[in-house]
Amino acid sequence: MVLTLVALAAFVLLAFLRVSAISWLLAFMVFVPVLALQLRISDGALQGIYVAMFLLGVLFAIPPVRRRVVTPLILPLFRRFLPQTSAAEQSAIEAGSVGWEGELFSGYPDWDKLLAQPRCGLKSGERAFLDNEVERLCAMLNDWEITHRQADFSPDVWDFLKGNGFFGLSIPWRYGGREFSAQARSAILGKIASRSSTAAATVMAPNSLGPADLLLRYGTNEQKEHYLPRLAAGQEIPCFALTGPFPGSDAGAMPDYGVVCRANFGGQENVLGIRLNWDKRYITLAPVATLLGLAFKLHDPQRLLGGEVDRGITIALIPADTPGVTLGRRHFPLNSAFLNGPTRGRDVFIPLEFLIGGVAQVGQGWPMLLECLAAGRGISLPACSVGTMQLAARSTGAYARIRRQFGLPIGKFEGVEEPLARIAANTYMIDAGRRMTALAVDLGEKPLAVSAIMKYHATERARQVVNDAMDIVGSKGVCLGPENLLGRIYQQMPIAATLEGANSLMRNRVIFGQGLMRAHPYLLKEMAAAKEANPQEARMKFDQAFFGHVGFFFNNAARSLVFGIFGALIPVQHGVGAPHYFRKLTRYAAAFALCADVVTALPGRSLKRREKLFARLGDVLSLLYLGSATLKRFEDDGCLPEDRPLLDWAMQDTLWRIQEALSGTLRNLPFWPLRALLHMLVFPLGSRITPPSDVLDQRVAAMLMRRGGSRDRLTGGMYLPEGENEPLGALESALASTVGSEILRKKLDAAYRAGELHAHDELARISEARARGLIDPAQALRLERDYALRCKVMMVDEFETDDLRAGPKKRASRKAAD
């Protein structure tokens, strides 16, 4: 019995360590004979066990023997079940870099590494631009005029954007750009988005997946010197054409093509170049672009460049006035006025000098695009989503405190507290993820899997936040007009879910699939070894990777079981503000890594088609990342007690969602014995995590309806207009007035119920109270102002029919003039 307890204790200890496959084999070789002794089996059987353990040790624990006997048997089987990958998919696998998601895939994340990263912050010049140029831009914007009447910016706004470097935020100083960090670009876009989604989309396009970023990374010196100064000064308006009407997010199915040939160009004869044909859709800034970035498939049937006939996806930079290029028409995406439209090209000839990076980058378009897409997915769209969420959180929290029904602010009803809490906690968590991802980019990472996580969850949670806000404000949000802060945002939320790759694609394939291939510590090495042409080299590399993977699997299986039982013993850094959340995420990281290996090893070649399993595991990976970001934010902010309800709600919701996603994964595995075994390892004590409580909902909702403190930190960075003529400014004033006048209103309500006041109308009652001496003139003025402010924020816009026709009429007349 003592030996058994010692063996079990050793097993628990190994679970807390990072050990190899050989260590687990040796432990197994010791544990089995100990167990046999405890079962009092016969001497003959015991000798057989000893022999078997010895043979296992010789075959598996001695690398030269293992490589000669075992590995040659396993490698062909691995090759047989290895899924086929296209050239585009292989490029996607190899693109980008691995950051914190690699720690999560390890099953035992190093929290010291995360907490050692610098705090997020802006440089003085970036802060000055945010406080001055961005502030002035926001003050110039009137979203109702832009979206309803003009369907465009005024000329003054366009001039301001071009003249102040908004289209060159990432371009270096030497080319005339701003050279801002990813954190600064994120903060700028978030602030603009809290004022106008049209303006945010317009600034976003050239600063994410656009010609400037591609030129900086891959352009020739001549291309950089010519184009980057013009882009930074706003002399060129760029767009980038990738998506077409049929392939959508499947770039590998792109029908647009170019053929290498010779033709006359620019007064020169027999120029070596490319004849292009394309038909693209949904291209932001295409209607006004002067410079077109174009992705297409290149063919060289005469082998004029040498090499293969089909050269793959290639990218060119084409002036919009090149013969055969068609631009100018517009799409109208859900009443948003950002300029988006089609572009076509018929027999457009360009010289090879138009290729970004020249001939050296022929066929490299897909990895080029993927690495640049990280900016749009990981920086721009999350920033715009956070700006939208902050606007919804701040305005809805104020409205819920001001609006009263049945004698109470509506925010104190439990049915409203619940969505208010979701609004606040989702905003807190996504903003934390935005900050951490932007910091990772500034630290040199190219986080493809993380950018997909942020793109999907930022846009989806923003959609949930806006839906919750619309439910709370009711008719105020339904009736469009200049006083409506949420209506246009609500209309346009599906746009963000569609841009830069549809959200269904992100969740079902990209997040877990990309993360698995890049962040798993062994899988990519095994695949590379299996494709190695040299048999001896393949055997050596595969042996190292595969048996490292075996040890990794047993480590995570043991950790998942042990951490599920003894989670309180998981070591965390001393002094952190919420150690139990770090421990919970560690426990679930081990369970995630175990389930990821099991799903990947399921028999069959349909790994890419297991979309529902991939989606659930992608949810777990995403939630682990967002939970990590939330904990880092709380630590970086100094573990403020005022913010603790936000942390608790966000983390409890995250842990509950992880539990449900893992449960869903296990329920849908194909073999019941496998399901039963994994359930024991992942949930040894059952599923015990619950979602946030009603009491926690109440605490978070109250924070969102209270001025200052956590509410200001939660919405820090958004645009706050001054003056009560602005809808948000009026809400802020009304909130202050409502809170400040509450005691006086209660006094008048009590007097009315007691029969001391008889007026039914609120203003008449205030006058009566002043006349009877219940309040003095100053108090009466305060109550009258409070009433006027509440009326302003409660009322919705009214129009004459001709006013509602003004926008369409103006657009129709413009079209006729064109």
Which residue intervals of 328-474 are DSSP H helices? 365-375, 381-402, 414-442, 448-473
| CB-based contact 218:363 (threshold 8 Å) | no
Cα–Cα nearest to 315, from 246, 203, 172, 218: 218
Largest CA distance in the chain: 108
Residue 248 tokens read as 């959508």
DSSP 575: T
Residue 718 tokens read as 């958004």
Cα–Cα distance, 256 to 245 (Å, whole number): 11
HEC string for 631-683: HHHHHHCCCCHHHHHHHHHHHHHHHHHHHHHHHHHHHCCCCHHHHHHHHHHHC
Cα–Cα distance, 165 to 167 (Å, whole number): 5
Which residues, 6 or more positions from 51, have their beta carbon under 8 angstroms from its beta carbon? none
Q: In 215-309, where do the E strands start and end?
A: 238-241, 257-265, 268-284, 291-299
Cα–Cα distance, 625 to 100 (Å, whole number): 8
Residue 232 tokens read as 């930074």
Cα–Cα distance, 337 to 213 (Å, whole number): 25
Quickly count: other Cβ atoms within 10 Å of residue 253's Cβ.
Answer: 12
- Kindly list the catalytic residues: 500
Q: Which is it for strands 257-265 and 325-326: parallel, antiparallel or unpaired?
A: unpaired
> How would you classify residue 435: left for phi > 0, otherwise alpha for psi between -120 and 50, otherwise beta?
alpha
Residue in the structure block whose two tokens are 């084409």:
318
Quickly count: other Cβ atoms within 10 Å of residue 246's Cβ.
Answer: 11
Cα–Cα nearest to 495, from 709, 332, 325, 628: 332
Residue 564 tokens read as 């599920």
Amino acid making up residue 296: F
Query: What is the CA 49 to chain-centroid distance, rounded?
Result: 53
